[in-house]
Amino acid sequence: MISTTRLLGIAGLCAAVPFMGLADTSGKSIALSNNYAGNSWRQAMLESWETVTGKAVEDGIVSAADAFTTAENQATEQAAQIQNMILQGYDAIVIDAASPTALNGAVKEACDAGIIVISFDGIVTEPCAWRIAVDFREMGRQQVEYLASRLPGGGNLLEIRGLAGVFVDDEIHAGIAAGVQEHPDFKISAAVNGDWAQDVAQKAVAGVLPSLPEIVGVVTQGGDGYGAAQAFAASGRDMPIIVMGNRHDELEWWKKAHEENGYETMSLSIAPGVSTLAFWVAQQVLDGADVPKDLTVPFLKVTQGDLEEVLASTQAGGVANVDYTLDDAKAVISDAAQ
């Protein structure tokens, strides 16, 4: 589990990391291509990007770090956005991708034009690009592992998925399926798409509940736990163990439920600030550092013991977060190179 201090954003990766790259990147420009901004995680991700890259531009580390979000979550629109960035002459493009494969043509065009491409969260499979991701499959599997520790007799589960067709959704779902295979006393009774948004999840869960048997647990992807809790409360059903996704409203609901009736669960998600790690990785590649194409960062997990401290540090309407530093990026790169 991530330590509480790291979860609260205190840099802990940078000890004894050798300096990499000494070239001047002050004249280099970096763009963020984001496919979706319709939930609190994406809003926090963009806020982290603005905070960290704004300071980097102010300090003269790079000349620009502009962020662009498509109006619709469509791969064709994001591909056109990337092609426009190529024409604008950016030196590096950081991408949170709508699809792992549908953007590969545009990504290859960027690489062929000499542009560095770093994908994160929603990664791309084009070999010329770099990829930064947590082990989303393990994140899904650990949810079932936790439920098995709490509910040794198993039972029926409801799965709330994210945006269809996105790498993150596919990987978390695969991890949940693997967890159920390891613990066959559990069964996925139904799956709905919550789009990583509380209001969408609440509506989807409310719509399917009347047709379901008793549900003992809800496995999620982030941004959907509070909506699920609201739907169960409105239905009059017993509240299952709902795995949360580090959003403030989820953590606040969990704290109140624990105080009222001893309710316990866990919460886990990728930190929105991973966008800032992607920025620094792009800067390091531009700086001449030898960076492996695949980098892995840990997901942030909140347990009952962490809950109050994490909640106190999480902004209302936001997500438990970590903004990464240049030294953090160097440490992640160093670890991947070993």
Give pLDDT tens digits for 103-143.
999 999 999 999 999 999 999 999 999 999 889 999 999 99
CA atoms of 325 and 338, how far apart (whole Å) = 20
**What's the pLDDT band for 23 if we cut at 50, 70, 90?**
low
**What are the start and end residues of each CATH 3.40.50.2300 domain in the chain?**
4-134+271-299+321-337, 136-269
| Whole-prediction pTM | 0.82
Give pLDDT tens digits for 135-167.
999 999 999 999 999 999 999 999 999 988 888
**What's the pLDDT band for 13 if we cut at 50, 70, 90?**
very low
- Name which CATH class applies to 136-269: alpha beta
pLDDT, mean of residues 327-336: 94
CA atoms of 227 and 55, how far apart (whole Å) = 35
Give pLDDT tens digits for 210-228.
999 999 999 999 989 999 9
pLDDT, mean of residues 263-282: 96
pLDDT, mean of residues 154-182: 95
Give pLDDT tens digits for 277-321.
999 999 999 999 999 999 999 889 999 999 999 999 999 989 999
3-state secondary structure the chain: CCCHHHHCCCCCCCCCCCCCCCCCCCCCEEEEEECCCCCHHHHHHHHHHHHHHHHHHHCCCCCEEEEEECCCCCHHHHHHHHHHHHHHCCCEEEEECCCCCCCHHHHHHHHHCCCEEEEECCCCCCCCCEEEECCHHHHHHHHHHHHHHHCCCCEEEEEEECCCCCHHHHHHHHHHHHHHHHCCCEEEEEEEECCCCHHHHHHHHHHHHHHCCCCCEEECCCCCHHHHHHHHHHHCCCCCEECECCEHHHHHHHHHHHHHHCCCCCEEECCCCHHHHHHHHHHHHHCCCCCCCEEECCCEEECCCCHHHHHHHCCCCCECCCCCCHHHHHHHHHHHHC
pLDDT, mean of residues 4-25: 43
Assign a CATH topology to domain 4-134+271-299+321-337: Rossmann fold (3.40.50)
Of 63, 69, 55, 99, give the one whose Cα is nearest residue 276: 55
**What's the pLDDT band for 73 if we cut at 50, 70, 90?**
confident
Percent of residues, the chain, with pLDDT higher than 90: 85
**What's the pLDDT band for 15 if we cut at 50, 70, 90?**
very low
Looking at residue 298, its pLDDT comes to 87
Looking at residue 6, its pLDDT comes to 38
CA 18 to chain centre: 28
